[in-house]
Structure 1
Amino acid sequence: MRKIILTTESGADLPAELADKHNVQVVPMHVVMEGQDYLDGSLPVTDIYDFYERTKKIPSTTSTNSHEYLEFFTKIKNDYPDCIIIHIGYTSKASSSFQNAIIATEELNDIFLIDALNVTGGLTAIVMYAVNLLDNEPTIDPVHLVEKIESIVPKSRLAFVPGSLDFLRAGGRVSNLAYLGGALLKIKPRIELIDGNLVSTKKYRGNMEAVSEKLMRDYLNQYNIDREQLYLLYSIGLDESIKRRMDEIAKEAGFKNVEWIQAGAMISTHAGPGGVGIAGLEV
């Protein structure tokens, strides 16, 4: 029986303990700050926040390039001869990373590429779905496994609220006028992945305690999420009392397992400190 290896990008924010436990291989994306290129995962998130406080600018982020993918996949092939690789990638609508993976694998065999059309916890939800399928059916046909993963991609739902508009404005994602209006009215946008694109779908008003609860209740009312697993997301700076309240709501809603995911450097560059989100798979 040929071994199947699952892979993804660091933009999934897949917790290291889960990646290690299930042998999911993760290729880093990039954060560029003050002229230096850092592999996502090697740069403390707090350094990004400190950089913003000093400069009122945010770092730039770049995708994994085709050469890095080639090295990544080749190393896996060397470590696990005759293996089959299934790569579940960061949305192609927001990064060139997936296209670079396609270029890198043009002359490689036994590699399947799946565009997850999602990021952070939404991508992790798909990766962990694949992990569970493989754990439950270790002899599953790779083509059948790929078909099952692809069928769940449209059912992965991610919604999050940035901690503030500062990082969105610094990154050019909101205008100065929208920023001033949002700041004065304490408005926070709800951002979702729609067909792989980041879209602002709603606006909340109030402090993060109130907003996080509105976000979670709206999400659970809108989507029929599988109660087996829920992923809650945060960027450093989110108050612990908010996390406890979200845990309570998840328990009240009947979720059997809740996994907290910390946004890494790449995602935090855009979301800023104190952000919160929720992800899961529709049934």
Structure 2
Amino acid sequence: MKRIILSTESGADLPKDLVEKHQIQVVPMHVIMDGKDYLDGELSVEEVFDYHSRTKKIPSTTATNVHEYQELFTKIRIDFPDSIIIHIGYTSKASASFQSALIASEGFEDLFFIDALNVTGGLAAIVMYAATLLEEEPSISHVHLIEKIESVVPKTRLAFLPGSLDFLRAGGRVSNVAYIGGLLLKIKPCIELIEGKLVSTRKYRGSMSVVAEKLLRDYLDQYDIDRRQLYLIYSIGLDESIKKRMDDIAKETGFENVTWMQAGAMISTHAGPGGFGIAGMEH
């Protein structure tokens, strides 16, 4: 029986211990600072924020390219001969990465693609769902596994609060008018993935400690999230007391497992320092 190998992008922000445990193959996306190209995962988040502090500029990001996917799929074939590759990709609605992967697939057999229509913790939740299924049912066929993964894509919910409107504005997520209004009124927009697109769905007012709790409670009221697993995402700078409070609420509301994930350099260029997010799957 052929072994099934999962692959994804660095924009999933998967913790290294989970990547190693499940032998998930991760290909880097890119961060551009002063015209120089850095690989996400090799560039620290601190360097991104230091760059902004020094220059008042926000780095830009670019997708994984066709050549990098060809190298990834070739390496998997060498490391895991006679394997079946299932690539669970960063939403095609917000990056050219998924299209690059499709183009790179020419000439490869037993290579399948799933557009996760999600990013960061939402993408990670789908990849980990697949990895857990493989662990629990090692003899599952790739056809059945793909069907199961595709069935949870529309049930996966991600919501996050950026730590800085500067970073969102630079990424074109908020207008100058909304930016100025947000600064004056201490308003933080909630960003969600709607049909694969990043959309500002509602606004919160107050300090991050207040609005993070509001977001988590609203999220759990709005979505019937499976209590077996919750993913909480933070960018460097989020206060430890907020993280503890989020843990307490998750425990109070019946979650069996809570996994914290740090936003990597690529995602942090959009979220800024001190951001907070939630990802889970509906029943």
Aligned to 1:95: 95
Percent of pairs identical after alignment?
73
Report the alpha carbon displacement of residue 106 of structure 1 after superposing the two structures with TM.
1.9
CA contact (8 A) 1:159 1:190 kept: yes
Q: What is the root-mean-square deviation in Å for CA atoms of aligned residues?
A: 0.7
Aligned to 1:125: 125
Report the alpha carbon displacement of residue 73 of structure 1 after superposing the two structures with TM.
0.4
Within 5 Å, which residues of 2 pair with 1:140-159? 140-159=140-159
Aligned to 2:112: 112
Aligned to 2:69: 69
Residue 261 of structure 1 aligns to which amino acid in structure 2? M
Can you list the C-alpha shifts for 1:109-157, whole angstroms capped at 9, x where unaligned?
Answer: 0001000000000000000100111111111111111111001100100
Can you list the C-alpha shifts for 1:27-78, whole angstroms capped at 9, x where unaligned?
Answer: 0000011121111011110111111112211111011101110010001001
Aligned to 1:24: 24
- 1:151 partner SS: helix
- 1:14 partner SS: coil
Report the alpha carbon displacement of residue 169 of structure 1 after superposing the two structures with TM.
1.8
- 1:7 partner SS: strand
Equivalent-residue separation in structure 2 for 1:248 and 1:80 (angstroms): 41
Residue 158 of structure 1 aligns to which amino acid in structure 2? L
Report the alpha carbon displacement of residue 176 of structure 1 after superposing the two structures with TM.
2.0
Unaligned runs of 5+ residues in structure 1 are none
Aligned to 2:209: 209
Aligned to 1:161: 161
Aligned to 1:39: 39
Equivalent-residue separation in structure 2 for 1:174 and 1:162 (angstroms): 11
Aligned to 1:265: 265
Unaligned runs of 5+ residues in structure 2 are none
Residue 103 of structure 2 aligns to which amino acid in structure 1? I
Residue 66 of structure 2 aligns to which amino acid in structure 1? S
Q: With the length of structure 2 as denominator, give the TM-score of the two structures.
A: 0.99
Report the alpha carbon displacement of residue 231 of structure 1 after superposing the two structures with TM.
0.2
Can you list the C-alpha shifts for 1:225-248, whole angstroms capped at 9, x where unaligned?
Answer: 010000000000000000000000
- 165-174 or 199-208, larger mean C-alpha shift: 165-174
Report the alpha carbon displacement of residue 172 of structure 1 after superposing the two structures with TM.
3.1
Report the alpha carbon displacement of residue 170 of structure 1 after superposing the two structures with TM.
2.5
Equivalent-residue separation in structure 2 for 1:101 and 1:257 (angstroms): 32
Report the alpha carbon displacement of residue 107 of structure 1 after superposing the two structures with TM.
1.6
Superposed structure 1 runs of 4+ greater than 4 Å apart: none
- 166-175 or 122-131, larger mean C-alpha shift: 166-175
Report the alpha carbon displacement of residue 171 of structure 1 after superposing the two structures with TM.
2.7
Equivalent-residue separation in structure 1 for 2:202 and 2:244 (angstroms): 24
Report the alpha carbon displacement of residue 173 of structure 1 after superposing the two structures with TM.
2.6
Equivalent-residue separation in structure 1 for 2:144 and 2:171 (angstroms): 41
Q: With the length of structure 1 as denominator, give the TM-score of the two structures.
A: 0.99
CA contact (8 A) 1:31 1:59 kept: yes
Report the alpha carbon displacement of residue 166 of structure 1 after superposing the two structures with TM.
1.2
Equivalent-residue separation in structure 2 for 1:227 and 1:174 (angstroms): 33
